[in-house]
Structure 1
Amino acid sequence: MTSPSCNKNKQSQNEWRLFPRELAPQIAIYSIARLRLTRDVLAMNYFESFKLDEIYPLKDYKVSEAEILEFANKYDPQSYHTDPIAAAESPFGSLIASGWHTAAIFMRMQCDSFLNQSHCLGSPGIDRLRWIAPVRPGDSLHGENKIIQLRQSKSKPDRGIVQSGVSIYNQSNELVMTLETTAFFLRRPQ
Structure 2
Amino acid sequence: MPRAFEDFRIGDVFDLGARKVTHEEIVRFAREYDPQPRHLGGGDLIASGWHVTAMFMRLYADEVLRHADAEVSPGVDELRWLRPVRPGDVLTGRVTVLGAAASLTRPDCGVLQQRGEFLDQEDRPVMRVVLYGLMRRRGS
Task: Please indicate the TM-score interval, normalised by the length of the shorter structure.
Answer: over 0.9
Unaligned runs of 5+ in 1: 1-42, 89-93
CA distance in 2, matches of 1:62, 1:116: 22
Question: What is the match of residue 127 of structure 1?
Answer: 77
Map of 1:57 onto structure 2:
15
Give the equivalent residue in structure 2 for 1:67. Answer: 25
1:188 aligns with 2:138: yes
Give distance in 2, aligned partners of 1:138 and 1:145. 23
Look up the match of 2:53: 103
Question: What's the secondary structure of 1:171's corresponding residue?
Answer: coil
Distance in 2 of aligned mates of 1:69 and 1:155: 42
Could you tell me which runs of 5 or more consecutive residues in structure 2 were left unpaired when the two chains were aligned.
none
SS at structure 2 position matched to 1:110: helix
Larger helix percent: 1
Partners of 1:155 and 1:104 in 2: CA distance: 28
1:31-180, aligned counterparts within 5 Å? 43-83=1-41, 86=42, 88=43, 94-180=44-130
Shift of 1:111: 1.1
8 Å Cα contact 1:59/1:110 also seen in 2: no
Letter in structure 2 aligned against 1:159: C
1:59-97 superposed Cα distances (whole Å, 9 cap, x missing partner): 1111111111010011110101002xx2x2xxxxx2110
- How well do the aligned residues superpose, as a CA RMSD in angstroms? 1.1
- AA aligned opposite 2:64: F
Contact 1:54 1:146 in 2 (8 A): yes
- Residue 6 of structure 2 aligns with an amino acid whose one-letter code is E
Aligned-residue sequence identity (percent) comes to 38
Higher share of residues assigned strand: 2
Give the 4+ runs in structure 1 shifted more than 4 A.
none
Distance 1:61 1:49 in 2: 27
The aligned amino acid for 1:44 is P
Q: CA deviation at 1:175?
A: 0.8
RCO (CA 8 Å, sep 6+): is it higher in 1 or 2? 2
Q: Is the 8 A contact 1:59 1:112 kept in 2?
A: no
